[in-house]
Structure 1
Amino acid sequence: MTTLENNPRLLASAQLVLRLAIGFLFAAHGWQKFSQFTIEGTTASFTQMGVPAASLVAPVVATLELVGGVALILGLATRIVGVLLALDMVGAIAMVHAQSGVFVANGGFELVLALGAGAAALALMGPGSWALDRLFVGRKAARRGLINA
Structure 2
Amino acid sequence: MALDTTIERFTTPAFAQRRARAEEVGRDAILVLARIGLAVLMFWHVKIAWDYTGGVGGLVRGFDVMGIPFPELSARFNIALESIGALALILGVGVRTIGLLMAVNMAGAWYYVHTSGLYAMDGNGPELAIAIGLLSLMFVVTGPGRVALDHVRGSRRS
| TM-score bucket of the superposed structures, by smaller chain | 0.7 to 0.9
What is the aligned partner in structure 2 of residue 119 from structure 1? 136
Per-residue deviation, 1:35: 6.1
Counterpart contact for 1:104–1:110, Cα < 8 Å = no
What whole-Å deviation, never above 9, does each CA across 1:39-74 have from its counterpart, x for those lacking one?
001111111211121112101111111111111111
The partner residue of 1:16 within 32, 37, 44 is 32
Per-residue deviation, 1:4: 8.8
Q: Identity of aligned pairs, percent?
A: 30
Structure 2's unaligned 5+ residue stretches are 1-18
The total of aligned residue pairs comes to 138
Q: Which shows bigger deviation, 100-109 or 111-120?
A: 100-109
What is the aligned partner in structure 2 of residue 108 from structure 1? 125
CA distance in 2 between partners of 1:52 and 1:76 (Å): 28
Report the secondary structure of 2:144's partner residue: coil
Per-residue deviation, 1:28: 2.9
One-letter amino acid of the structure 2 residue matched with residue 17 of structure 1: L
Q: Which shows bigger deviation, 88-97 or 74-83?
A: 88-97
- 1:4-43 equivalences in 2 (<5 Å): 7-34=23-50, 37-43=54-60
Report the secondary structure of 1:80's partner residue: helix
Q: TM-score, normalised by structure 1?
A: 0.83
CA distance in 1 between partners of 2:74 and 2:110 (Å): 15
Seen in structure 2, the aligned counterparts of structure 1 residues 17 and 139 have a Cα distance that, compared at 3 Å, is same
CA distance in 2 between partners of 1:108 and 1:4 (Å): 41
One-letter amino acid of the structure 1 residue matched with residue 35 of structure 2: R
Superposition RMSD in Å: 2.1
Structure 1's unaligned 5+ residue stretches are 142-149
One-letter amino acid of the structure 2 residue matched with residue 9 of structure 1: V
Per-residue deviation, 1:27: 2.2
CA distance in 1 between partners of 2:20 and 2:101 (Å): 26
Q: TM-score, normalised by structure 2?
A: 0.79
- Structure scoring higher RCO (CA < 8 A, sep ≥ 6) equals 1
**1:65 maps onto 2:102 in alignment:** no
Report the secondary structure of 1:50's partner residue: coil
Larger Rg: 2
